[in-house]
Amino acid sequence: MTCSDFFQQGGKAGTVEIRTRITVVIKMANVSQPFLTGIFGKLNFVHACSFNDNEELILWATEYARKHGLKIHIHLAESEREDLDCKAAHGGLSPVEYLEALGVLGPDVIAAHTLWLSEHDIELLGKYHVNCVHNINSNTKLASGYKFKWKELTDAGANVCLGTDGCASSNNLDMLETMKTTALFQKAWRKDPSALPLQTLMDMATVNGAK
């Protein structure tokens, strides 16, 4: 796995070094740790950040992942600030629109958060069958927001899942707590006690994440 820290170093020399580092990490994880790959499959995430990183490296990470049959994991549309900064830096494009322009979106993309979305963003995530992961405990702890459009995303064609984000931003990795909190917030902000039926919630926490 590579993290956004790798992407935040500029310059040609830094770019080459980062590419080398990423390649080495992935090869070591996949080849040198058979006990891990035997349980989880090969290491399959390349993690980039959508609006404040080196565009060249985002494109390289995407190409590398697809060339080697890896998934692309990215935090996307997590906060209002991210949305505003991206639009200011990229001619009015939202984070989702920016990634579409770069050719990143696809069914091999695991997009964490996808919280601050326009109707057009939702259409794009559905069109490319992106895997959208809701992290309610993290989003509320960090005051990022809570109005996750799971139904709209599902209806558009996206695959919607649940996650916890990291312990630092959600205090634990408890999926049962995540399920309960997700359901409660959906009922509250939609003003509908029947919002997010149990079977749908179960699917988001289990089989959808396995797709």
Is 0.75 topped by the overall pTM? Answer: yes
Contacts of 149 by beta carbon, 8 Å cutoff, 6+ apart: 117, 122
> Contact at 8 Å (CB) between 173 and 179?
no
Tokens of 70: 């890896």
Output the tens digit of pLDDT for each of the chain's 211 residues.
444 444 444 445 445 665 666 665 556 555 444 443 444 344 555 665 556 557 887 888 888 889 888 888 889 999 999 999 999 999 999 999 999 999 999 999 999 999 999 999 999 999 999 999 999 999 999 999 999 999 999 999 999 999 999 888 888 999 999 999 999 999 999 999 999 999 999 999 999 999 8
Which residues touch 164 (CB under 8 Å, ≥6 apart)?
Answer: 135, 137, 138, 170, 172, 173, 174, 175, 178
Other beta carbons within 10 angstroms of residue 193's beta carbon come to 7
User: What string of DSSP letters covers 191-205?
Assistant: T-TTSS-HHHHHHHH
